[in-house]
Amino acid sequence: MTDQPTLITGRAFWRGFRRNRIAVAGLAMLLIALAAAVFAPAVAPYDPYAPVAITVESIYQRPGPAHWLGTDDAGKDVLSNFIFGARVSLTVGIFASFISVVIGGLIGISAGYFGGRLERWLMRFTDFMLVIPDLPLIVVIVAITRPSLTNIILVIGLLGWTTTARLVRSQTLSIKERKFVLRARSIGAGHLHILRRHIFPLVLPLLVVNSVLIISLAILNESTLSFLGLSDPTRISWGQMLNYAFERGAMSSRAWWVLVTPGFGIVWLVLGFTLLGHGLEQVLNPRTEWHHLTDHPRMVSLPAPLNPQP
C-alpha cells in the first residue's frame, strides 16, 4: 500500500461526490427509502397494525385496485406492510452499525497508536472474534434471549466490529509514522491531543466508508434473523414478511407478490448503502484506473498547445 491517507476539505469532498455517479445514485436510493420510512403513516394506504377481519377471499389476493401489491396470509395489504417494514431495517442498520463502528474504532485506534502489549492482546481478541462465524452466534444468542428490537440491535452491533478494528488499526499504524505526529510529540503534545487532532481526522474518512458498508451488513443480518423466525413480533419487518409468506403457503398458492416485494426492499436498501460506500471510497481515496494494459495507455501525455493554430 503506497497511498497515504490525506485530509480532504469539505468543499473538495462535495465536488468529488457530486461528480461520482455511483455515490449519487446510492444516496438518492437511500433518501427515497428514508422518506418512505419517516412518512410511512402518510404514504401507506392502510394501517398495517390495525386488526382486519380475515375471510377465505381476503388472503393472498392478487394485486388489484384495492390492494396494489395484493394481500398476505392474514389478508393485510402488502404495500402498507412493505412501507412500514423499511423502519425496522433502517433502525437496526443505523444503530447496530453505530455500535460496531464505535467499538471497532476505539479498539483499532488504541491498538495502532499505543502498540506494545495492549496491541497484542486487543488484536488477539479481535482474531478470536473474527474466526467465529457471525450469523450462527447471532442466531444462538437471539434464540436464547428474547428477539426484541433492542436485543437484535445489541447483538448484531456487539458482534460486527472485527473488520473495522483491523482496518482502523492498520490505518492508525501508517499515520503514526508520519512526520507531523513526530513533530507534535516533540513539542510536547499529549496523547489525547495527538489522537484528537492528528490521528482521528485522518481515520475518519475510513470510518465513514466502513460504517456505510457495516450498515448494509447489519441490514442483511437483521433480515436473515427475521426470516429464520427470530423477529420482534410486535413490529413488521421485511424478513418477517418473508418468513410468514414462506412458512404459510405463499409458495404453493403461487403468491409471488408476497415473496418478491419484501426482498425488493432489502435489495434496494443494501444496494443503496453499497453504492454509496463504493462511491465514497472512490471520492475519498481516488486511484487511477488506468494501467499498462488499457487500450489507450496514457503513459506519455503531451501537453495541449497553449495557442491552437487558427
Partner 1 sequence: MKSLRFLAARLGWAFLTILFVVTLNFFIFRVLPGDPARAGLRDPRLTREAVEAIRVRFGLDKPVINCVQALNPFEAGDCLVNPLDTQFFIYFGNLLRGELGISYHTNRPVADHLGQMLWNTVLLIGAGQVLAILLGVALGVLAAWKSRTRIDVGALLFSLLAWSLPTFWLGIILLFWGSSRFGLPIGGKLTPGLPFVSQAAMLKDLGRHLLLPTLTYTIVFLGEYMLIMRSTLLDILSEDFILTAKAKGLRTFQILKDHALRNAMLPMVTLIALNLGFTVAGAIQIETVFSWPGLGGAVFNAVGQRDYPMLQGAFLLLAVSVILANLAADLLYSLLDPRVRVD
Residues near partner 1, by CB under 8 A: 127-128, 130-137, 139-141, 143-145, 216, 220, 223-224, 227-230, 239, 242, 246, 251, 254, 256, 259-260, 262-263, 266-267, 270-271, 274-275, 278, 287-295, 299
Residue (156 or 195) nearer to partner 1, CB? 156
Least distance CB 37 / partner 1 (angstroms): 18
Least distance CB 189 / partner 1 (angstroms): 32
Least distance CB 198 / partner 1 (angstroms): 28
CA distance 169 to 107: 8
* Three-state helix/strand/coil letters over 159-195: HCCHHHHHHHHHHHHHHHCCHHHHHHHHCCCCHHHHH
Least distance CB 135 / partner 1 (angstroms): 4
Who contacts 136 (Cβ-Cβ below 8 Å, separation ≥6)?
none
Residue (117 or 287) nearer to partner 1, CB? 287
DSSP states along 89-133: HHHHHHHHHHHHHHHHHHHHHHHHHH-HHHHHHHHHHHHHHHHS-
Residue (1 or 53) nearer to partner 1, CB? 1
CA distance 126 to 165: 8
Chain Cα centroid distance, residue 265: 14
Residue (145 or 150) nearer to partner 1, CB? 145
Residue (1 or 50) nearer to partner 1, CB? 1
Least distance CB 226 / partner 1 (angstroms): 10
